[in-house]
Amino acid sequence: MSKSLDRTKPQGALDPGGPGDSEYMSGAEAAALLGVKPQTLYTYVSRGAVQSLPTPQGHRHLYLRADLEKLRSRPRARFPLGALAASAMYAGDPIISTSITEITPAGPCYRGRPAAELASAGLPYENVAEFLWTGELLDDEPVVWNREALPAQVRRLAVALGRSRANAPIAHIFSLFALSIGMARGSSSQRLRSSSTVLAARQLIQAFAGCFGYLSARHAYVACANAEPIAAAVLRASGLACSEEKLRLVNGLLVLLADHELSPATFVARVAASSGADLQACMVSAIQTSSGRKIAEIYDRTEDFLRGAQSKADLIRRMRELQASGRVPPGFTQPIYPRGDPRALYIFDLMRRANRPSRQLHMVLSFVEEAQNKFDLKPRAEFAVVALAHALGFPRRAAAGLYILSRVSGWVAHVIEQRLSSALLRPRAKFVD
């Protein structure tokens, strides 16, 4: 089923005297063309901005002229490299080439397919996850995941955690399970089962779905049933009745949020993968980055903003109070989508098409419409996730868990892709006295 990713970099050595000579330049010629030092040229190569090929002798490299001309034509190419790299590290120019996800005005596209299109088609989250991992999309039948049983020591951990009644954030629980699964790879049977990244990824996602049980009144791990869809497993673990309507909403949410280019957590996962860390360690790196105050707090504050509201007027009042103190209501304004987050709009559309919209759902949708039309406030995906979780009756703080669970599939895809490169991701630091 797996299909190798398309790699645009040519393979093999090039004879400088051969027919490709005019398309390539020597290191000295390339550095002179760009007006930079050889060390700077090597940095451009390591960043993927310029393709480099070894000569048959192996002691020098040639550089693709087209890449050099493109780089030279950009004014920023003549800026000091430190300033260029520093700006790129904060929503600047691309610093990593990827064939997984592209951000467009219509939202993310997974390997060329709009996420909203995949969600609209009702494709299971499992199909989309394996599409991200392998490049093969099965759109005519659901991908069924057999249950990947947890190692005995992880099952003991699950029981102990339930008995402790600890009120830990869901991100920390996810990380604890991921680390425990990684540590359990010591036994030969578990090592065999973990030899496949896809099987290991399925195991992690199924385990995380069961962790929603710790947020419910039951406060216990709820294992996935064999061949149970992830959306159904999450609903059941959360103590919610499973209906076709709820399955459609939760599955659509997971698909829409499966990946979003190089978010901080995705970048961290790729850094860990470039160092040779195993899949579980890469996931812990990403999960903990997502639990940081600047990211997780959006979900918590949005949940607090909605909780207890009795009417649209109540939400408008809360919004005005925040604006009066110079603050934006939580879950609004997304710099990547200045015209509005299309993922949020699609999630709201899913909610509007619910067969029996609840009073709570109607209140939230009316508030969002007025916030956009009268106050020019555009909701982010985070607000839509919290609103959907709130409307469906998910336990408190489950919205952040839904986000992390959905994003695991994208993180795994980036780990797989990063492993295809031998480069160690290592941003430079500039000492400032």
Sheet of strand 24-26: strand arrangement: 24-26, 61-64, 52-54
* pLDDT attached to residue 287: 96
pLDDT at 99 over 80: yes
* pLDDT attached to residue 92: 47
pLDDT at 296 over 80: no
Q: Which residues contact 388 (CB under 8 A, 6 or more apart)?
A: 249, 253, 347, 350, 351
Domain C-terminal end among 88, 105, 122? 88
Average pLDDT rounded to a whole number, residues 298-305: 90
Average of per-residue pLDDT values in the chain: 83
Task: Report yes or no: 72 and 33 within 8 Å, Cβ to Cβ.
Answer: yes
Residue 77 sits in the same domain as residue 187: no
In a domain, 305, yes or no: yes
Least confidently predicted of 25-39, 153-167, 172-186, 235-249: 25-39
Label residue 371 exposed, middle or buried (CB < 10 Å: 0-12, 13-18, 19+): buried
Residue 312 sits in the same domain as residue 231: yes
Per-residue tokens: 210: 């069961």
Distance in angstroms (rounded) separating the CA atoms of residues 199 and 204: 9
In a domain, 96, yes or no: no
Q: Residues 11-65: pLDDT tens digits?
A: 333 433 333 445 778 888 888 888 888 877 877 776 667 777 665 544 567 888 8
In a domain, 3, yes or no: no
CA dihedral in degrees (152, 158, 162, 164; nearest 10)?
80
39: containing domain: 21-88
Alpha-carbon Rg of the chain, whole angstroms?
24
Predicted confidence band of residue 167 (pLDDT cuts 50, 70, 90): confident
Distance in angstroms (rounded) separating the CA atoms of residues 62 and 64: 7
Predicted confidence band of residue 327 (pLDDT cuts 50, 70, 90): confident
**CATH value at residue 365:** 1.10.580.10
State the DSSP string of 266-293.
Answer: HHHHHHHHHTT--HHHHHHHHHHHHTSH
pLDDT at 185 over 80: no
Beta bridge partners of 295: none
In a domain, 161, yes or no: yes
* pLDDT attached to residue 165: 76
Residue 43 sits in the same domain as residue 174: no
Distance in angstroms (rounded) separating the CA atoms of residues 353 and 346: 11
Average pLDDT rounded to a whole number, residues 70-81: 59
In a domain, 13, yes or no: no
Q: Which residues contact 15 (CB under 8 A, 6 or more apart)?
A: 55, 56
Residue 169 sits in the same domain as residue 43: no
Distance in angstroms (rounded) separating the CA atoms of residues 203 and 194: 9
In a domain, 180, yes or no: yes
Residue 156 sits in the same domain as residue 32: no
Q: Residues 392-412: pLDDT tens digits?
A: 899 999 999 999 999 999 999
Task: Report yes or no: 184 and 177 within 8 Å, Cβ to Cβ.
Answer: no
Predicted confidence band of residue 97 (pLDDT cuts 50, 70, 90): confident
Residue 71 sits in the same domain as residue 171: no
* pLDDT attached to residue 355: 67
Domain C-terminal end among 71, 88, 105? 88
Residue 193 sits in the same domain as residue 300: yes
Beta bridge partners of 86: none
Distance in angstroms (rounded) separating the CA atoms of residues 332 and 371: 10
**CATH value at residue 40:** 1.10.1660.10
Residue 139 sits in the same domain as residue 199: yes
User: What's the number of domains the chain is made of?
Assistant: 2
In a domain, 106, yes or no: no
In a domain, 14, yes or no: no
Helix (H) or strand (E) run with residue 131 in it: helix 125-134
Residue 228 sits in the same domain as residue 286: yes
Which DSSP symbol is given to 88?
Answer: H
Bigger pLDDT: 196 or 12? Answer: 196
Residue 416 sits in the same domain as residue 305: yes
Residue 48 sits in the same domain as residue 123: no
Average pLDDT rounded to a whole number, residues 157-177: 91
Distance in angstroms (rounded) separating the CA atoms of residues 68 and 184: 48
Q: Residues 341-386: pLDDT tens digits?
A: 899 999 998 888 876 667 788 888 899 999 988 888 889 999 999 9
Tell me which residue of 358, 411, 217, 201 sits closest to 209, measured CA to CA. 201
Residue 74 sits in the same domain as residue 181: no
Task: Report yes or no: 184 and 154 within 8 Å, Cβ to Cβ.
Answer: yes
* pLDDT attached to residue 280: 95
State the DSSP string of 29-47.
Answer: HHHHHHT--HHHHHHHHHT
Distance in angstroms (rounded) separating the CA atoms of residues 383 and 258: 16
Q: Which residue has the tokens 């709201």?
A: 348
Bigger pLDDT: 417 or 432? Answer: 417
Least confidently predicted of 86-95, 155-164, 389-398: 86-95
